[in-house]
Homo-oligomer: A and B are copies of this chain.
Amino acid sequence: MEESVKLSWNKSRGYFPAGRRRFKDMNKIRIGIVGYGNIGRGVEAAIKQNEDCELAGVFTRRDPASVKISTEGAKVYAYDELASKKDDIDVCIICGGSATDLPKQTPEIAKLFNVIDSFDTHARIPEHFANVDAAAKESGHVGIISVGWDPGLFSLNRLYGNAILPQGKDYTFWGRGVSQGHSDAIRRVEGVLDARQYTVPVESAVEAVRNGENPDLTTRQKHTRECFVVAEEGADLARIESEIKNMPNYFADYDTTVTFITQEELDKNHKGIPHGGFVIRSGETGDGTNKHIIEYRLKLDSNPEFTSSVLVAYARAAKRLADEGACGCKTVFDIAPAYLSPKSGEELRAHLL
């Protein structure tokens, strides 16, 4: 008797039974990327670094034919096709923006999939958590929100620091790094063609904290802001500089420098998206004579690629938790570190403990 089998073909596998995974891929974590901007591309790159993960597809609201991805054999689908891929994806990483995309998409997609996002509007986290929690509990999925480095790894270090040194003070410094929001704000000033804003921690403030001086620091004492601005020809540079420096919320509370450069200089010297910063817990023990400093520092060449690497590690955790029967919304606080690693408990204890 002959069996009729539908065949698929791709460059790396040749012909193979449609819909069947290779044995060596059977246990891989199948990740769907929803949204293909800087973070989506970063997630795709991070998946390639993790042998136990594979890209199950990219989902976009743009025309799929217009989106070119870098993973051989993987496909781009329309956002609306996501629901039809229910059996082909273990975890969706939602790579949209925190302002409008994630509040809508993460709860929506949690109805069908385990989800991870990097929601970073600190003030709205409780509300977002509640929405994702309700959706994920109803559908029996795991959602992990606000994954990245702040919120994310920095939050973890604030928590560990507070729990271990209850008598102490927290300090978080950001930078040197590009703030997309502040760069956008400058671009909205009349006469500005392009701009890049760097947030810079004040080194003397960081040093005072490291030395256990526990200073009370104002906004101005913690960070400065460096702006590199491309102006229209003939624009009133003095007015632009003044408008930037006095912009409420964004710059008025900081010592700000404005440097006018050409578009060529901007493209050549400021195209990267570096970032980083410090979380420092300064505390004391015993009768207060013994001081302790816990410092966590990130120095990142690419903010989106690093954030994406954190997202993929937590996707592994989501898959494992779901396999254990967990459901509902979680944050980095709720995830035991071992879940992030592809290594077994035995390996971790033998080599990393």
A interface residues (Cβ-Cβ under 8 A, vs B): 42, 45-46, 49-50, 122, 125-126, 129, 146, 151, 153, 155-156, 158-160, 162-167, 210, 285-287, 289-302, 305-306, 308-310, 313, 316, 331-338, 340-342, 345-346, 348-350, 352-353
Q: Which residues of B contact A210 (CB under 8 A)?
A: 299
Consensus secondary structure, chain A interface: helix
CB <8 Å contact, B299 and A295: yes
Most chain B CB atoms below 10 A, which of A146, A331, A352 = A352
Q: A45-B287, A126-B349 are in contact. List 10 more A-B contacts (CB 8 A).
A: A129-B349, A146-B353, A156-B160, A162-B341, A164-B310, A285-B308, A290-B302, A292-B302, A292-B305, A294-B298
Q: Which residues of B contact A300 (CB under 8 A)?
A: 290, 292-293
Given the contacts A163-B340, A297-B297, A305 and B331 also touching, CB distance less than 8 Å: no
Min CB–CB distance A278 → chain B (angstroms)? 9
Q: Which residues of B contact A346 (CB under 8 A)?
A: 126
| CB nearest neighbor in B for A157 | B296
Min CB–CB distance A95 → chain B (angstroms)? 15
Q: Which residues of B contact A45 (CB under 8 A)?
A: 285-287
Most chain B CB atoms below 10 A, which of A313, A346, A353 = A353
Given the contacts A42-B285, A292-B301, A345 and B334 also touching, CB distance less than 8 Å: yes
CB <8 Å contact, A353 and B160: no
CB <8 Å contact, B301 and A291: yes
Contact of A337 among B129, B159, B301, B313 (CB under 8 A): B159
Distance in angstroms between the alpha carbons of A48 and B345 in the assembled complex: 34
Q: Which residues of B contact A352 (CB under 8 A)?
A: 155, 158-159, 162, 333
Q: Which residues of B contact A156 (CB under 8 A)?
A: 160, 337
CB <8 Å contact, A155 and B353: yes
Q: Which residues of B contact A331 (CB under 8 A)?
A: 348-349, 353
Given the contacts A333-B348, A353-B146, A160 and B153 also touching, CB distance less than 8 Å: yes
Distance in angstroms between the alpha carbons of A302 and B121 in the assembled complex: 38
6 chain-A/chain-B pairs, Cβ below 8 angstroms: A146-B353, A155-B352, A285-B302, A293-B297, A295-B296, A297-B297
CB <8 Å contact, A125 and B350: yes
Min CB–CB distance A303 → chain B (angstroms)? 10
Distance in angstroms between the alpha carbons of A286 and B307 in the assembled complex: 12
Q: Which residues of B contact A164 (CB under 8 A)?
A: 153, 306, 309-310, 313, 340
CB <8 Å contact, A159 and B341: yes
CB <8 Å contact, B302 and A286: yes
Q: Which residues of B contact A333 (CB under 8 A)?
A: 336-338, 345, 348-349, 352-353
CB <8 Å contact, A159 and B348: yes
Q: Which residues of B contact A294 (CB under 8 A)?
A: 153, 296-298
Min CB–CB distance A65 → chain B (angstroms)? 25
Q: Which residues of B contact A353 (CB under 8 A)?
A: 122, 125, 146, 151, 155, 331-333
| CB nearest neighbor in B for A295 | B297
Distance in angstroms between the alpha carbons of A7 and B159 in the assembled complex: 42
